[in-house]
Chains A and B, each alone.
Chain A
Amino acid sequence: MGAWAIAVHGGAGVDPNLPKERQEEAKRLLTRCLDIGISALRSNLPAIDVVELVVRELETDPLFNSGRGSALTENGTVEMEASIMDGPKRRCGAVSGLTTVKNPVSLARLVMDKTPHSYLAFAGAEEFARKQGVELVDNQYFITEDNVGMLKLAKEANSILFDYRIPTLGTCGGGAALESPIQMNGLPISVYAPETVGCVVVDKEGRCAAATSTGGLMNKMTGRIGDSPLIGSGTYACDLVAVSCTGEGEAIIRSTLAREVAAVMEYKGLNLHEAVDYVIKYRLDEGKAGLIAVSKNGEVACGFNTTGMFRGCATEDGFMEVGVW
């Protein structure tokens, strides 16, 4: 029997001037999620159940950009998406355009388990949710004051806020929608914005699973779908590895980032760490992104070419680490 490993993330691209309390809050949440995952692994829950459990926790907490606390569309509403993938047999499920489903990752799981399809979206997904009797809430539930303020700033700056923006070095704290030497998504970095979440797990049987969930880009066009629900881009799991990505959605799609890690392991024979390094270094072109990954051998790795990524990882031998930079 192998050893388990788990990693979680709350977004790539972090403000160097992020207030200390905010960093601590994020680390506490990541630690709590790791503890939930570790506890589940010790109870022999399979990887697929563990990733769902952990991402539900991340969605429920308003801190990151998923479920409650999701980024807002141009219309000030929330449209959430998520995907989940089970390494053995590569079963997968994904959802987009959710407006009332409290836990998108769980609906993605139901698509995988209860339908002949892999991906349901918008009205059809909401209808499926109703039929399945999952917990539904008003769209208002997902909207936080922080994000209402952020949307306003984004509109004023007339830019799309990427997952996490970095204000110009030298200006006072977050909140100033200014031109910045640091750019993400081809647009001027503006202010602090919330983050996509994800989890990857390998259990004692060597089964890998991954899940990713998000509200998407602040001020996105209604109907915009990013990388998080796209199998091969934001999420991927097979016999060898499980991957969850975060960052510039369009760049992640263009480079099919999650599949890329698995492909170089499968076709080039790289190990997990080599694969993650290689992909982040050479396969993102100008894109800015990060990812977490676990291998069937109980290894865990993360990589990012952004300034920081909210992340945590733990392995069965007692190793545990939560970081921002």
Chain B
Amino acid sequence: MGWAIALHGGAGDIPRSLPPELRLPREAGLRHCLDVGIAALKAHKHPLDVVELVVRELENHPHFNAGKGSVLTSSGTIEMEASIMDGKSKRCGAVSGLSTVVNAVSLARLVMEKTPHIYLGFHGAEAFAREQGVETADPSYFITPENIERLKQAQEANRVQIDYTQPIQKEPNDAAAAARIPNGDSQIGTVGCVAVDGEGNLASATSTGGLVNKMAGRIGDSPIIGAGTYANHICAVSATGKGEAMIRGTVARDVAAVMEFKGLSLKEAAAYVIDQVPPGNAGLVAVSSTGEIATVYNTAGMFRASASEDGYSEISIWDSPIKVSN
């Protein structure tokens, strides 16, 4: 037993030839966030506090698709969303359509704790943010040149790009462009974190800017309890990938359901559920009440990191097949 934590920075068609200038900052980000989470668990912070803390860090990192570094809608604007859930009480909070709130996951937590509701969206959520005095910034704070470029490419290719892959190749007239692999849907990743402490308290949180070139007002799986985020007394799950597939598949909820109703282990349940989603569309991280960890995806890769109290720790992008391992 003991504590365990897992976090992700998005699943998708991440090419193995991902150039260092794109790979290293993300690995460093995962390492940093894992360290933050481990320190918090060692300091006996409640998992709900831990996942919020870690997701805040991921949101602040410009290399992941949440908070700063969020992908852009078809109008070139930012619409962020997030959700958080406490396993023991099943209390939850969610927000969508944020354009100025620096940490969506914290606003989701405030919805859970300071309102009689679970989910606030768009202008109502922004108004609530102001009432609560949370940190806000001009929308331009969240926009990065990488994402302006991604949107441009998506619109030229007339496609909606999901979580993470490499940009679509055009004329390789500069080094960076030449380094990119052709013909992938560019995805740069939702973020999320799950954690369990020594007492079996579980929590999950997920945050994202959504899909590149999405329609304004489009809500994905990240703020939807049961789709992108879920936690109960059995496990905590945060999912990433093609939102529409996660919603239809009630992915986060199903991992817990399959453990409970079919008696599968965490790893078996995670593999089972991901297997039901069309290939190339989903990934998740999960921890169980007994401290197990599962990170599974049916895409080329998933930015992730995990650790447990027994000294285990891992930071990876590729190399995790969808199979049960002991």
The yes or no answer to B250 lying at the interface (CB within 8 A) is yes
Which of B232-266 touch A at CB < 8 Å?
243-244, 247-250, 253-254, 257-258, 261-262
Complex contacts, B115 vs chain A, CB 8 Å: 221, 224
The interface residues of chain B lying within 8 Å CB-to-CB of A267 are 257-258, 261-262
Q: Which of A121-147 contact B (CB under 8 A)?
A: 121-128
Interface residues of A in 220-264 (CB under 8 A from B): 220-226, 230-233, 236, 249-250, 253-256, 259-260, 263-264
User: By the criterion CB–CB under 8 Å, are A119 and B247 in contact?
Assistant: yes
Q: Specify which of B97, B122, B217, B250 is in contact with A127 (CB 8 Å cutoff).
A: B217
Q: Are A232 and B250 in contact (CB under 8 A)?
A: yes
**Does A231 lie within 8 Å of B219, measured CB to CB?**
no
A36-44, A45-53, A89-97, A291-299: which lies at the interface? A89-97
- In the complex, what distance in Å separates the CA atom of A206 from the CA atom of B59? 45
Check A268 for interface membership: any CB of B closer than 8 A. Answer: yes
Q: Does residue A2 face the partner (Cβ distance < 8 Å to B)?
A: no
A residues less than 8 Å from B217 (CB atoms): 120-128
**Residues of B contacting A222 in the complex (Cβ-Cβ under 8 angstroms):** 123-124, 127
Contact of A160 with B250 at beta-carbon distance under 8 Å, contacts A117-B218, A123-B216, A223-B124 already known: no
How many residues does chain B have at the interface if contact means C-beta atoms less than 8 Å apart?
A: 45
Name the B residues within 8 Å of A127 (CB-CB). 216-217
Within 8 A of A (CB), among B116-131: 116-125, 127-128
Are B261 and A223 interface neighbours, CB within 8 A? no
Residues from chain A with a CB closer than 8 A to the CB of B127 are: 222-223
Which residues of the partner chain A approach B227 to less than 8 Å between Cβ atoms? 231-232
Contact of B244 among A116, A123, A224, A254 (CB under 8 A): A116
Compute how far the CA of A226 lies from the CA of B121 in the bound complex, rounded to whole angstroms: 11
Which residues of chain A come closer than 8 Å to B216, judged between CB atoms? 123-124, 127
Q: Are A259 and B247 in contact (CB under 8 A)?
A: no
Q: Is the C-beta of A103 less than 8 angstroms from some C-beta in chain B?
A: no
Pick the contact of A124: B118, B119, B218, B249 (CB < 8 A). Answer: B218
**Using Cβ atoms and an 8 Å threshold, which residues of chain A touch B45?**
none
- In the complex, what residues of B have CB within 8 A of residue A119's CB? 218-220, 224, 247
Is A305 at the interface (CB under 8 A from chain B)?
Answer: no
In the complex, what residues of B have CB within 8 A of residue A128's CB? 215, 217
Quick check: A223 and B123 within 8 Å, CB to CB?
Answer: yes
- Residues of A within 8 Å of B128, CB to CB, are 221, 223
Given the known interface contacts A119-B218, A230-B225, the answer about A223 and B248 at a Cβ–Cβ threshold of 8 Å is no
A118–B247 alpha-carbon span in the complex (Å) = 8
Nearest residue in A to B261 (C-beta to C-beta)? A267
Q: Digitize A84-115: 1 where CB-to-B-CB distance is under 8 Å, 0 elsewhere.
A: 00000011101011000000000000000001
- B296 close to chain A: CB less than 8 A: no
**B214 located at the interface, meaning its Cβ lies under 8 Å from any Cβ of chain A in the complex:** yes
Give residues of chain A (186-244) contacting chain B, Cβ–Cβ below 8 Å: 186-187, 220-226, 230-233, 236
- B218 and chain A: residue at smallest CB distance: A117
A209 to B160, CA, bound (A): 27
Using known A-B contacts A224-B124, A230-B224, determine if residue A90 contacts B249 with beta carbons closer than 8 Å.
yes
Which of B88-96, B174-182, B191-199, B284-292 participates in binding chain A? Answer: B88-96
**Known interface pairs A121-B96, A224-B120. Does A268 touch B244 (Cβ–Cβ under 8 Å)?**
no
Q: Which residues of A contact B253 (CB under 8 A)?
A: 232, 256, 259, 263
Tell me the complex Cα distance, A224–B94, Å. Answer: 10
Once the chains are docked, how many angstroms separate the CA of A273 from the CA of B320?
41
List, in ascending order, chain B residues with CB within 8 A of A256's CB. Answer: 225-226, 230, 250, 253
Q: Judge if A183 is at the interface, Cβ distance under 8 Å.
A: no
The 3 closest A-B pairs by CB, nearest first: A223-B124, A124-B217, A267-B261
New A-B pairs, 19, CB < 8 Å, besides A90-B248, A127-B217, A221-B115: A97-B124, A118-B244, A120-B215, A121-B219, A123-B122, A123-B217, A124-B79, A124-B217, A128-B215, A187-B116, A220-B117, A222-B124, A223-B120, A225-B118, A253-B225, A253-B226, A254-B90, A254-B91, A263-B261
